[in-house]
Amino acid sequence: MKRKEVTEVFNEAELAQLVSQAEQAFASAVTGDQLRAARIAHLGESSPVSLANRAIATLPKASRKEVGQAIGATRFAITTALSAREPIVAEWDLQARIRDERVDMTLPVTLHPQGALHPVTALIHELGDIFTAMGWEVADGPEAEADWLNFDALNFTPDHPARFLSDTFFLDPPEDKRILRTHTSPVQMRTLLTRDLPVYVVVPGKVYRSDEYDATHLPVFHQLEGLAVDKGLGMADLKGTLDHMARALFGANARTRLRPHFFPFTEPSGEIDLACFVCEGQSVGNPARPCRTCRSEGWIEWGGCGVVNPRVLAAAGIDTEVYSGFAFGMGIDRTVMFKNGAQDMRDFAEGDTRFSRLLVGVAR
């Protein structure tokens, strides 16, 4: 920029105007950044006062002193205005920071609703603990399962009703012969084919049956399979294991009974009932004291069980002269219902965390 004659540009009125412009600029600055920008514009190296100051040297000697004093006074006035504004803006900046960086130590730490373990998951953990404490292992298998493992390997005949479309979900393409497993028992054969003897495993998992979706049925539910194969195992070991499981889940007074039943993969087979721990049998034949938990029957159906059919062991290449075993399978969702008092199966599937929190408590 070509310097102009100072006196030509900055007569007294103009110098006064520089002061009032600077004052206005400082007054309208409300943050430290704005005030810094105003300072550079009005006092910085290329501000009008600085330029004027530098131009003094080009003036005729005689007028230098007078012009120099006028510019010095101008600069002093601007600097004074700036210093007056600085503490005010600094205080505002501080207040803004205090406001913006505020942390309210009294607010609760968790601001979003917490989830909870699903009651089925919680019971699966509990069952896993009960069995691993006895030295058993937890195994698993796929939900999309080979037809052969779900049925044939378990000694189901080709015309067994459980295979029919009405119960089983078949997967495409049909030539793959895969289904959604209808029980956790196919993991029995998977276990026998992959693990060394003796075998003591429990298998929690999802199973699928084309049932209605209502208060007592879900098309997807959970089972706990148990399988033990060792030398000399039999019915008494099965009963002892189930009793232990019942007591671990329902308390020292829990009792079980076995009723004869049929499963193709166990022989003999039974159904296991749990003595009703709510009415303890008091409701049976006693309309004055009905029991919702056992429907006044005194016993709650819990699952199926039996001594492993030697044909199943033989199919896995196990010497049935040396080894025998027992197996059981119970509904986990059902167990949650009578253990924790859930009323409606649909609550298990709807994902409302209030249901989980009510039954299990908030997850940690």
- Which residues bind to ligand PHE, rule: CB under 6 A? 183, 185, 225, 263, 266, 269, 303-306, 327-329
Q: Contact at 8 Å (CB) between 334 and 223?
A: no
List the 199-208 sheet strands across, edge first.
137-138, 199-208, 220-231, 323-331, 299-308, 266-275, 256-263
* Cis peptide preceding 186, ω within 30 of 0: no
Confirm if 154 and 312 have CB atoms less than 8 A apart: yes
- Which CB atom, from 118 or from 222, has the smaller least distance to ligand PHE? 222
Instruction: Give the integer Cα–Cα distance in Å for 259 and 272.
Output: 6
Q: How far is the CB of 283 from ligand PHE (least distance, A)?
A: 26
Would the CA dihedral through 329, 334, 339, 340 be positive or negative?
A: positive
Q: How far is the CB of 328 from ligand PHE (least distance, A)?
A: 5
Task: Kindly tell me which of 266 and 296 has the beta carbon lying closer to ligand PHE.
Answer: 266
Q: How far is the CB of 132 from ligand PHE (least distance, A)?
A: 19
- Residue 356 CB, shortest distance to ligand PHE, in Å, is 25
**Residue whose entry in the numeric block shows the structure tokens 């075993």:** 325
Beta carbon nearer to ligand PHE, 307 or 360: 307
Shortest Å distance, C-beta 181 to ligand PHE? 10
CB of 183 to ligand PHE, least distance (A): 3
Nearer to ligand PHE among residue 207 and residue 276 (C-beta): 207
> Within a 13 Å sphere around the CA of 147, how many CA atoms are in the beta-carbon half?
18
Smallest distance from the beta carbon of 288 to ligand PHE, in angstroms?
35
Closest to ligand PHE by CB, 205 vs 329, is 329
Q: Which is nearer to ligand PHE, 305 or 316 (CB)?
A: 305
Contact between 352 and 113 under an 8 Å Cβ cutoff? The reply is no
CB of 308 closer than 8 Å to CB of 325: yes
Nearer to ligand PHE, 86 or 140 (CB): 140
- Name the minimum Å distance from CB 305 to ligand PHE: 5
CA 16 to centroid of chain Cα atoms: 70
Say how many Å lie between the first and final Cα of the chain, rounded.
Answer: 71
- Identify which of residues 117 and 327 has a Cβ nearer to ligand PHE in the complex: 327
Residue recorded with tokens 């084919």 = 193
Measured CA distances, 47 to 21, 50, 54, 144, 287 (Å) = 12, 5, 11, 80, 102
Q: Minimum Å distance from CB 229 to ligand PHE? A: 13
Which 8-state DSSP code applies to residue 140? -
Q: How many residues does the chain have?
A: 364
Whose Cβ is closer to ligand PHE: residue 55's or residue 228's?
Answer: 228
Residue 174 is classified by DSSP as G
Burial of 361 (0-12, 13-18, 19+ CB in 10 A): exposed
Residue nearest to ligand PHE (CB): 329
Q: Which two tokens stand for residue 32?
A: 């430290």
* φ, ψ at 327 (rounded to 5°): -145, 155
Work out how close the CB of 156 gets to ligand PHE at its nearest, in angstroms, rounded to a whole number. 11
Choose between 74 and 256: whose C-beta lies nearer to ligand PHE: 256
DSSP character string of 252-303: TT--EEEEEEEETTEEEEEEEEEE-TTTTTTTTT-TTS--TTTTTSSEEEEE
